[in-house]
Amino acid sequence: MNKLQDWPEPIVRVQSLSDSGMPIIPERYVKPPLERPSINSTISSDVNIPIVDLAGLYGDDHALRATILDQISVACREWGFFQVINHGVSPKLMDRARELWRQFFNLPMEVKQAYANTPKTYEGYGSRLGVKKGAILDWSDYYFLHYLPLALKDYKKWPTIPSDCREVLDEYGKQLVELCGRLMKVLSINLGLGEEQLQNALGGENVGVCLRVNFYPKCPQPDLTLGLSSHSDPGGMTLLLPDNHVPGLQVRKDKNWITVKPAPHAFIVNIGDQIQVLSNATYKSVEHRVIVNSSKDRVSLAFFYNPKSDIPIEPMKELVTPDRPPLYQAMTFDEYRLFIRTRGPSGKSQVESLKSPR
Ligand SMILES: O=C(O)CCC(=O)C(=O)O
């Protein structure tokens, strides 16, 4: 039996709970004490993830280019996260993309319900990740859609309101795929590989690309819950367009949670589990989570750049040496993502489970 046929319980929209004005959140959203946001959270610290200015990446200044490559290399090894500015994507397009999703989530519930998703493909309007009956849920709704492969791109599953939705989302996808391609080259060179090698290991032109737009409604008891539980991204690499007014993303650094302070018109880049595997753990996919607050809704756009879904992903042979044997067993992304689609976000437990037996 396919266990991803349907949700195990009736779906409740978190936005409806928030709009109802209830002073206490339902038990289902209350996290165990050790997972609550106050634990090891460094909200007001000055520490931030690295910010890399890509402006000089294609100029004639070789020293500047080397510096940028080096900054990205350090960020991938030490943080698994960094922000990029002057990345080539139109700031106006970024603003419009975020704004149109705000408009979508503010539409009447019956309009949004027409796009309600199921766990079979997750495409459309959703309110939970994972199908475990009785699971503690996150304080967020979302919208999920596919860009690539083209065989999965289905405009019928994209919203039609606001009216410029399709046009803006198509252009957004095009510009972000180009940026991901440029970053893949940088990562590949930094790993000591040929410029195209990492992209080829992900399936060349046949990568998978999808978007999850997260909507975190305001929450009457933000200290008890999370907008998104701790997880590492299962795919290759993620470009996150965060809310421009409301912070919320926290990245794990050692034992602490650092609250990311987004730079204007930056994308937050993070390494996913598949690049951790391909790089034989030279690069780490790092756990992150989202906190909510009692006064403002928050929107973020997570753009996932993933491997072709049916090819085995394993440590690249150039990155395996007698001193550093392959750390992970091969698995296709189709098999891999079933885990998060079934169990929901759960730290780094899945990539850990791929570790080769010793
Ligand atoms: O909303 C955010 O800032 C992060 C979202 C995220 O981690 C995800 O969608 O996987």
Q: Whose CA is nearest to atom 1 of ligand 1?
A: 300
* Residue 247 token pair: 């912070």
Contacts of 211 (CB under 8 A, 6+ apart): 143, 144, 145, 147, 169, 173, 301, 302, 303, 304
Task: State in Å: Cα 177 to ligand 1 middle.
Answer: 18
Classify residue 119: in a domain, yes or no: yes
d(CA 115, CA 157): 7
What's the pLDDT at 274? 97
Classify residue 137: in a domain, yes or no: yes
What's the pLDDT at 3? 66
What confidence tier does 42 reach under pLDDT thresholds 50, 70, 90?
Answer: low
Classify residue 322: in a domain, yes or no: yes
What's the pLDDT at 43? 59
Query: What percentage of the chain has pLDDT greater than the value 90?
Result: 88
Parallel, antiparallel, or unpaired for β 51-53 and 81-85? Answer: parallel
Classify residue 38: in a domain, yes or no: yes
User: What does the pLDDT look like over 198-239, one tens digit per residue?
Assistant: 999 999 999 999 999 999 999 999 999 999 999 999 999 999
Burial of 151 (0-12, 13-18, 19+ CB in 10 A): exposed
Classify residue 358: in a domain, yes or no: no
The answer to whether the CB of 214 is under 6 A from ligand 1 is: yes
Domain membership of residue 81 as a residue range: 14-353
Task: State in Å: Cα 329 to ligand 1 middle.
Answer: 27
Separation in Å, CA 177 to CA 82, 146, 242, 351: 18, 13, 18, 25
What confidence tier does 1 reach under pLDDT thresholds 50, 70, 90?
Answer: very low
Classify residue 5: in a domain, yes or no: no
Q: What is the CATH number of the domain that holds 271?
A: 2.60.120.330
What is the value of pTM for the model shown?
0.96
- HSE at residue 91, side-chain half, CA atoms within 13 A, is 8
Domain count, the chain: 1
Task: State in Å: Cα 100 to ligand 1 middle.
Answer: 18
The answer to whether the CB of 242 is under 6 A from ligand 1 is: yes
Atom of ligand 1 nearest to the CA of 298: 1
Task: Name the 3-class secondary structure at 84.
Answer: strand
Classify residue 289: in a domain, yes or no: yes
What's the pLDDT at 251? 96
Atom of ligand 1 nearest to the CA of 345: 10
